[in-house]
Amino acid sequence: MMRFCLLLTGCLGFLCLESVKSNAAEPEKAAPPLLKISARVDLGEDVGQSFGSLFELRDADGTVIAGAGLMDVYNTRFRGDRHTLQFYVKQPGTIPTAQTKRLPHPDLDTGVYLLDLNQTISAWSGYRPGALRTWNPAAGKWIDTPEPPTGPVGSGDGMQRVGTGVLTFSSNRAAYNGRIILAPPAEGRYYNFYYAQGFLCFYHGKRSEQGGFTKVVACPWKPSDGGPVDLSRAVSIDCKFVGATPFAWGQFRNELLTVSNWGGVYVFDGTKWRTILEASDKSSYQVYSMLNFRDRLLLAQYPSGELFEYTGGTEIRQLSGWPPRLPGVSPSAREAQTLAIYRGDLFVGVWPWAELWRYDADADRWFSEGRMFSHPELTDKTVHPYEVEAVQHKLVLNHWGQRITGLVPLGGALMVSTSSKGTYPWSDQYTFLTDAQRREYGAVLAFEMPGNLAAQLKWKDQPLELEFCIEPGRLVIRQDGQEIGATAFAATDVKRLQQARVVWGEGVYGKLKGTVQGTRE
């Protein structure tokens, strides 16, 4: 065992955990790696950009068999940690086997969402203020999490690494390393923050019978500025409906994108906002997740349950059959809610039956990874699970729909969280569910396939020296010669890996924003 400490500056407090560093045992004697890729990476100044891919390995047929990069995703309520570095290895021609393990229940009732920072996950619930619990892997339990200096974390708030510090959004304000850079407004409130490409973005709204408004705002700001946000430089666009709110943000090349709950799609190019889809109160159009995937920005949509893509310009295009649906369920009111890249494949979580889908781009094929609930049996006689029981308890019809609310790469696993429609308190009157069944709501699971490693990048304001190794029995990432992550892995086609061609700066995480120079041994 080894002891390590996570210092989460100005946000989650100081956690010292006794833990093994990974599920791969340290070799007694250093064996030569089967493959080592060394990379010198310059990501420039960290201003919230999507970093992208470091490299891919492609075999003689052009099939991708390994790669590394930094995923940029925003899943419904929180943005993922952009400093999580992933290294994956595939074994083409085989269908990987998955194992799923349930963590102890976070005890936040019927729904949680995942917030990740520094390769640590926290479960969040909106049913009571400040309901945030952090997973302690050494103790095997969840612990209450201290509030950040800006106050309780709500939906659309969060914490993200920016450079060597932490940017915190909550309670109507923003802070960098504990120092307030944006105070609450004199009128209305700020909410659903996003920081990307040197702009702090948020919604600014005021509900009122007279004079109410909602606008989307972008303010230039960088940590190197050394001061607070200058609101006199803000650029905004008015939303069509007062009270508009987003569920996700994203970026593509040099543009930022947000979608309101009324279906208004707004794009900021660094100078001005434009509307590429007008909001409407006549039909539903909501986006719950955005992810950079190769040469496009993917958007997870309701009510199609499918993905849309944005590649610039004035159009967002629906991708029919991305993903499919399980046989025996209704095609109505489906919601693609969560996205992730894991093991080099695209993963999608879909409401209302908590379906988990995986897309293999080289095979151009979708694979079902099952449901994250064991109950009830699938049916197309109702749109959502337990509709009859919801009516009996005078709840909304889709109250017991089943969500996958979080997909977070952590070590060798993909962490998955679940929820009912909302993050509701549990009541003992719901006797139609056993205790085991009800605790599948608001749960966190570890889904694992061989061949993926996530580790925390140690940011430096200078080029980073990284090594990606396939060693006997494990995958390893090193930074400046020090191991920052490892997981068990048995390579079966070493010759294919050793003969593969390295493609630098391109891959599943999108094109690299920065430069990379490297070698393969």
Instruction: Give the whole-angstrom CA distance, residue 179 versus residue 150.
Output: 9
- The answer to whether residues 352 and 468 belong to one domain is no
86 and 119 belong to one structural domain: no
Q: Is residue 395 part of a domain?
A: yes
Same domain, 337 and 442: yes
Specify the pLDDT at position 211: 81
**Size (the chain), residues:** 521
User: pLDDT tens, 166-203?
Assistant: 999 998 999 999 999 999 999 999 999 999 999 999 99
Q: Which residues contact 487 (CB under 8 A, 6 or more apart)?
A: 22, 23, 24, 411, 412, 452, 453, 474, 475
d(CA 237, CA 378): 44
Looking at residue 273, its pLDDT comes to 98
Q: What tokens appear for 274 in the block?
A: 């434009």
At residue 497, φ and ψ (nearest 5 deg) are: -65, -45
Instruction: Kindly indicate the confidence band of residue 15, based on its pLDDT and cuts at 50, 70 and 90.
Output: very low
Do 87 and 102 fall within a single domain? no
Of 421, 449, 477, which marks where a domain is finished? 449
DSSP secondary structure, 200-261, as one string: EEEEEEE--TTT-EEEEEEEE--GGG-S---GGG-EEEE-SSTT--EEEEEEETTEEEEEET
- 424, 449, 474 - which closes a domain: 449
Band (26; pLDDT cuts 50, 70, 90): low
Give the percent of the chain with pLDDT over 70.
Answer: 94
Structural tokens at position 334: 């489906």
- Name the residue range of residue 111's domain: 98-135+323-449
Q: What's the CA gap between 283 and 266, in Å, rounded? A: 18
Which one is predicted more confidently, 295 or 149? 295
Q: Contact 96/450 with Cβ under 8 angstroms?
A: yes
Residue 225 tokens read as 């500025």
Q: What is the dihedral of CA 105, 108, 112, 113, to 10 degrees?
A: -100
Tokens for 371, please give them: 């449901």
Section 290-309 average pLDDT: 98
367 and 478 assigned to the same domain: no
| Type of residue found at 253 | R
Pair 433, 397 in one domain: yes
Residues 366, 484 share a domain:
no
- Global pTM reads 0.93
Answer whether residue 72 is part of any domain: yes
Decide: helix, strand or coil at residue 429.
coil
Q: How many domains does the chain have?
A: 2
- Across all residues in the chain, what is the average pLDDT? 92
